[in-house]
Amino acid sequence: VAEGEPGEGREPFELPRFWDALGQTFQVTSQEATKLSLAFSRPPLPSSEDCQKLSEDVQNAILAVATVYYWLPKSQGTTLRKMVRDATTEVVEGMIQLTDTILNAPVESLSQEQLISTGGVWEACEQVSNLPRDNQAAVVSALAACLGVVKDAVEEMEQALVEGQDPYEDIMEDEELGFRGNRDTYWSEADRQLLSSCMGLMKASKACLKKVLTAVKAHGKAESPEQIAQLDDLADIANEISPSVDELALSMYPPVNPLAVRLNAAKLASVLKKVLEIAKTSHVCPPSEEGWVQFLTGAVDHNMNKVKNFTQGQL
C-alpha cells in the first residue's frame, strides 16, 4: 500500500469515523475471503459468471480497505499511520496469497494451504480491533516493543558474561582436540573491565526506554499537531536504540576489538542522549520528570567516559 494523503474537498477528518469505516472494510474483506474460499472448496467449480462476481467483490473489498487507509492523514501521526499501513498491507497480501493458493490447488478438495490462507486473512482482518486509536497509543506501543527487544539483548549479554570465560563453550567443544586455549574464544580480565562499562550503557538504554515509555503513558497527548509531532520524534529516535544495542553487543563477543567496541558504544551513547534531549524538550517531560532525564544523561556520560579510558591505550 503506497503512501498518500486524503483528497481535496473531503469533510474534516475525524478519528472515530475513520476507525468505524476501517473496521467495516476489514470485516467485509474477511467475509469475501470466506465466500471465495467456500466457492472453491469442492466441485463443481463456480461458473464463469460467478467467478467474475467473486473477483469483483474481492477487488472492491480490497479497494475499500486501501481507500479508507488513505483517509488517515500524516498529521494524525506517522507512527500511527505506519501501524495502520502495516495492518492494511497484511490484509491485502493475505488476500493475494489466498487467491494464489486457490488458483494453484487441486479442485477435488479443500486443501490445507487454502484453509491456512483463509485463516490468515481472517487473522489479518481481526487485527483492526487491536490497533492503537491515536498517536499517543501508537507511540506507547512502539516504545514498548523497543523496550522488549532491548531487555532481551541485555539479559542475553548478562548471561554470557556470568556463564564463564568462554561464551562459545557450549557450541565449540571439540572432543578430539581436547582443551582449547584459544584466546579468541574467551574474555581476558581487561576485556571484562571494558565490557562492564558497555553493560552500563546497555542497562542505561533499558532504563531510558522504560522512563520515556512511562512519561508518554502519563503525560503524552495527541491533541495538537505539535504534540503529535513530538511523539513521532520520540518514536523515531527510540527505534534507533535497539539496533545500536545489538551492534554494541555483537562487538563485545571475543575476540574483542577495542576500537569497534568504542565506536559502537559512542554510537549508542549518542542515540541515548538524543532520546533524552528530545524527551526533555517535549510535552511528555514536565518539571517533575526532569530528575531522571538528568540522572540518565549523567549515567550515559559516566559509562562512555569509562569506555574511553579503558580503550585509550589499546587503540
Phi-psi region of 164 (alpha: psi -120 to 50; beta: other; left: phi over 0): left
What grid cell was written down for 201?
A: 550503557
Burial label for 104, CB within 10 Å (0-12, 13-18, 19+), is: exposed
Residues 78 and 93 in one domain: yes
Residues 28 and 85 in one domain: yes
What grid cell was written down for 37?
A: 474460499
Residues 25 and 153 in one domain: no
Asked if residue 266 is part of any domain, the answer here is yes
| Residues in the chain, overall count | 315
Cα angle 135-137-142, degrees, rounded to a multiple of 5: 90
Residues 109 and 191 in one domain: no
Asked if residue 199 is part of any domain, the answer here is yes
Residue pointed to by grid coordinates 545489538: 246
Residues 274 and 143 in one domain: yes
Residues 228 and 273 in one domain: yes
Asked if residue 264 is part of any domain, the answer here is yes
The dihedral through the CA atoms of 24, 29, 34, 36 has a sign that is positive
Residues 73 and 126 in one domain: yes
Residues 247 and 152 in one domain: yes
Residues 103 and 147 in one domain: no
All residue ranges of the chain with pLDDT < 50 are 2-4, 6-9, 165, 171-181, 183
Asked if residue 112 is part of any domain, the answer here is yes
- From 160, 128, 159, select the one nearest 20 (Cα to Cα): 128
Residues 117 and 192 in one domain: no
pLDDT given at position 107: 65
Asked if residue 173 is part of any domain, the answer here is no
For 215-255, the pLDDT digits (tens) are 999 999 999 999 999 999 999 999 999 999 999 999 999 99
CB atoms near residue 138 (< 10 Å): 26
Residues 185 and 304 in one domain: yes
pTM comes to 0.87
Asked if residue 77 is part of any domain, the answer here is yes
Asked if residue 243 is part of any domain, the answer here is yes
What range does the domain containing 154 cover? 135-166+179-311
Round the CA-based radius of gyration of the chain to a whole number and report it. 26
Residues 299 and 239 in one domain: yes
Domain count, the chain: 2
For 2-20, the pLDDT digits (tens) are 444 544 445 789 999 999 9
Asked if residue 4 is part of any domain, the answer here is no
The dihedral through the CA atoms of 138, 139, 140, 146 has a sign that is positive
CATH number at residue 300: 1.20.1410.10
For 144-169, the pLDDT digits (tens) are 999 999 999 999 999 988 875 455 55
CATH number at residue 30: 1.20.1420.10
pLDDT given at position 168: 52
CB atoms near residue 35 (< 10 Å): 13
